Chains A and B, each alone.
Chain A
């Protein structure tokens, strides 16, 4: 099987197959020696060219992470034969969308829509896990959208848009 793999933003072409414990692997055309044992569902022991690694996998914030020597690598695997992979439209016009990274409550909104803000200016205060966090403008701009005071937000919800 051949896959397109993305690791921390870098693309690789991976050809990989197995028959029992025998693996065939090529990364960007270069052959790779592999010996793998599954330790648990999310942990493998991998020996490659004499080096031994324990690699763990988890999911956090909708991303798959592989942990090698305690460093997380965000990875994405896609099958080039399918065309379902979503290509998110990149916004290059300098619009910043601030998303909630976890559930919380909007305690105070410090700005109004259409207001001009400076970089670092406080936009709103969100309370989560007993801590109040001031969300600041990432850059100078105009507030195009901001959530209502007192509302509850979930991870991934839009808090504000600064253009």
Chain B
């Protein structure tokens, strides 16, 4: 087993991996950019090293700097988390050359799956079903127009190196193609350093359902059930659940076996996810394979009782899987809410800034994977994911109720978050009936509950109460209930700054 693992990531996933390391008695090494010196993962790790400026290219994407820290500090393995270098085959190769174990699949499997075009070619050859489209990067606008006309609008432009919806554009008609192609290319270039884009027939309002697979280094590959990920904005997942209300035992087995076949065809090892688009007739099409741990892995952990990060570390240390496919049992139900620093009522615009106050939920069935804390400044340099609320219960109905309860306990002050969006989703009757597809969020109308006059009056009174309680004259009044912790000083300064 490894003695020391370097975590080449930040935020909640770095915290998640550090926790697993602690549980396994492995020392952890955090790396951080200038913007992240005070971040939670740095505070929690046993060792921490600065790797440069805030821009990801200068720090979390800098292979040389990260590996030099790993070697200097004697780390014998690297966990890449998700995003950043997690799907970068050159990084996996550089780790191998440096004698540091990369916790993930082989560079060969990553190269095939890392390019969506190569993955399509490979899957088609292996008999895995794919949506109609081209499997080569587009050379020109004219070529794109030709293929799009051939398969018919609407079409989807996708970055060959893509993920997370970046470099991806839905094109409804020919006249939109040119500007969409330029945006997709430049976004892909900036996000992945690779501007290659291909075109696929857009399957409108499909379900997005993915299969978690896991393989050891000894030829054993299993599937750990599905995750329903249809609730998306800008092709980025917002809420996930397991199991999917749409998938029965038979479909689960079919999709699971195809996913295992897709993984085995590239000699895949470690944790991976095969994503499918599923139409209402339960036809499913290969979308992509993510060659890493997924953001939404907690829902699978909750319904299988497994710890995927522990399993990743064991498998990377060449240990055999300790159980077989028939031992995998799906029990209960789980939902994850991705809490982002963004405004759901303003086109999901990101909202960095100081978290002036924070309350986390607790109680039965609650798991909060957070990368933030009260007083921390959410930097504008990275993805705005703050925390993941994962909720477990015996049935879907119970989990929805429990999740709404937990959402009422969360409070994040000082910035905009999408917490209110989850209440709307979970109260929606179509969602409760399991009638969801990737168009769900666009159809979800804002709550127009009308003005609540009683609450507005209460707010009017409360503003006066706060004013009197905070004014100097009232603070000097003898009152045992008024003790202001000195730690509140930064809050005041934050408020003063935000007023400027």
Query: Does A66 lie within 8 Å of B488, measured CB to CB?
Result: no
B47 contacts chain A at the CB level, 8 A cutoff:
no
Tally chain A residues at the interface, Cβ within 8 Å. 66
Interface residues of A in 41-65 (CB under 8 A from B): 41-44, 46, 48, 53, 55-62, 64
* Complex Cα gap A59–B186 (Å): 35
A84 contacts chain B at the CB level, 8 A cutoff:
no
User: Number of A-B pairs whose CB atoms are under 8 Å?
Assistant: 179
Of A67-75, A90-98, A112-120, A141-149, the one with at least 4 CB within 8 A of chain B: A67-75
Find chain B residues with CB under 8 A from A102 CB.
349-352, 380
B460 contacts chain A at the CB level, 8 A cutoff:
yes
Interface residues of A in 129-158 (CB under 8 A from B): 129-134
Nearest-CB distance from A149 to chain B (Å)?
A: 12
Of B139-147, B260-268, B298-306, B451-459, the one with at least 4 CB within 8 A of chain A: B451-459
Of B3-11, B239-247, B279-287, B491-499, the one with at least 4 CB within 8 A of chain A: B491-499
Nearest-CB distance from A53 to chain B (Å)?
A: 7
B429 contacts chain A at the CB level, 8 A cutoff:
no
Nearest-CB distance from A1 to chain B (Å)?
A: 7
Q: A40-B485, A44-B466, A132-B187 are in contact. Are A60 and B416 (CB under 8 A)?
A: yes
Query: Does B463 lie within 8 Å of A5, measured CB to CB?
Result: yes
* Complex Cα gap A40–B489 (Å): 12
Which of A42, A66, A130 meets B491, CB within 8 Å?
A: A42
Q: A127-B190, A132-B187 are in contact. Are A16 and B479 (CB under 8 A)?
A: no
Query: Does B415 lie within 8 Å of A60, measured CB to CB?
Result: yes
A109 contacts chain B at the CB level, 8 A cutoff:
no
Q: A60-B416, A107-B186 are in contact. Are A44 and B462 (CB under 8 A)?
A: yes
Query: Does B414 lie within 8 Å of A66, measured CB to CB?
Result: no
Tally chain B residues at the interface, Cβ within 8 Å. 66
Query: Does A75 lie within 8 Å of B383, measured CB to CB?
Result: no
Find chain A residues with CB under 8 A from B349 CB.
101-102, 128, 133
- Most A C-beta atoms less than 10 A away, residue of B166, B408, B464: B464
Query: Does B465 lie within 8 Å of A56, measured CB to CB?
Result: no
Find chain B residues with CB under 8 A from A69 CB.
408, 455
* Complex Cα gap A23–B465 (Å): 9
- Tell me what chain A mostly uses at the interface: helix, strand, loop, or mixed: strand
Query: Does A21 lie within 8 Å of B455, measured CB to CB?
Result: no
Which of A14, A38, A48 meets B464, CB within 8 Å?
A: A14
B346 contacts chain A at the CB level, 8 A cutoff:
yes
Query: Does A67 lie within 8 Å of B467, measured CB to CB?
Result: no
Nearest-CB distance from B176 to chain A (Å)?
A: 10
Query: Does B482 lie within 8 Å of A38, measured CB to CB?
Result: yes
Find chain A residues with CB under 8 A from B413 CB.
42, 56-58, 60, 67
* Complex Cα gap A8–B463 (Å): 13
* Complex Cα gap A76–B349 (Å): 24
A sample of 7 cross-chain residue pairs with beta-carbon separation below 8 angstroms, ordered by A number, consists of A43-B357, A44-B465, A58-B357, A60-B415, A62-B499, A68-B455, A122-B179
Residues of B within 8 A of A (CB): 166, 179, 183, 186-187, 190-191, 234, 343, 346-347, 349-353, 356-357, 380-384, 407-408, 411, 413-416, 419-420, 423, 451-452, 455-470, 474, 477-479, 481-482, 484-485, 488, 491-492, 494-495, 498-499
Contacts A46-B458, A77-B463 supplied; 4 other A-B pairs, CB < 8 Å: A41-B491, A56-B357, A75-B460, A101-B346
